[in-house]
């Protein structure tokens, strides 16, 4: 259980991604075992696919990969595995992209905000608990109770900015 709690740029910056993946998988196994939820082969493989890179994958992209490996070839196969992962906090849905990404902080509590690079498509997950709190207060004043919050920022990562992408 390595503690490489780095900043938002972690995903964009070069890092030991092997470990990144391995850690996430291990945490997933533990968390699911604790909840008595089953990390079946399709589900596990789906999580592995999402963990391959710090990018979001569309459901059909996931499906294609799964089908090629002998799993079912119809949309529900992918959608169900993805939904399972989301339900258990192991993946997130990116509303702006119609896509899914592995959660990079599965151990801590969840109020994620995403930084999405419009050039390289990589994304970083940054803690947004305080954002939720602040917006929550403001809403509370108006009688609105926040249950779930989506925060997605599209922009340019350091690497792509340097590479001179417009």
Partner DNA sequence: TAATCAATGTAATAAAATAACAAGTCAACC
Partner DNA sequence: GGTTGACTTGTTATTTTATTACATTGATTA
- Residues sharing a CB contact under 8 Å with residue 1, sequence separation 6 or more, in sequence order: 23, 26, 27
d(CA 52, CA 66): 14
Q: Using the rule CB under 7 A, is 31 a contact of DNA?
A: no
CB 49 within 8 Å of CB 62? yes
In whole angstroms, the minimum distance from the beta carbon of 59 to DNA comes to 4
155 counts as binding a second copy under rule CB under 8 A = yes
When the beta carbons of 84 and 114 are compared against DNA, the nearer one is: 84
Inter-helix orientation angle 41-51/75-87, to 10°: 80
End-to-end CA distance of the chain: 39
Site string for a second copy, 64-103 (x = CB under 8 A): -------------------------------xx-------
58 binds DNA (CB under 7 A): yes
What backbone phi and psi angles, to 5 degrees, belong to 77?
Answer: -60, -50
Task: Work out whether 161 is an interface residue with a second copy (CB under 8 A).
Answer: yes
Q: Is 60 a binder of DNA (CB under 7 A)?
A: yes
Should residue 74 be labelled a site residue for DNA when binding is judged by CB under 7 A?
yes
Contacts with DNA, residue ranges (CB under 7 A): 37-38, 40-43, 58-60, 71-77, 79-81, 84, 98
């Amino acid at each position: 259980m390595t503690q490489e709690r780095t900043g938002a740029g972690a995903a964009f910056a070069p890092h030991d991604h092997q470990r990144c993946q391995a850690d996430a998988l291990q945490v997933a196994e533990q968390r699911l075992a604790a909840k008595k939820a089953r990390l079946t082969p399709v589900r596990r493989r789906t999580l592995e696919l999402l963990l391959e890179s710090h990018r979001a994958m569309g459901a059909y992209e996931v499906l294609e990969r799964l089908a090629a490996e002998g799993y079912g070839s119809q949309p529900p196969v992918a959608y169900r595995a993805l939904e399972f992962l989301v339900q258990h906090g192991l993946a997130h849905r990116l509303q702006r992209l119609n896509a899914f990404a592995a959660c990079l902080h599965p151990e801590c509590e969840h109020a994620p905000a995403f930084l999405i690079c419009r050039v390289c498509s990589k994304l970083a997950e940054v803690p947004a608990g305080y954002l939720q709190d602040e917006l929550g207060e403001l809403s509370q004043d108006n009688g609105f109770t926040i249950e779930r919050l989506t925060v997605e920022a599209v922009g340019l990562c350091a690497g792509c900015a340097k590479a001179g992408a417009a």
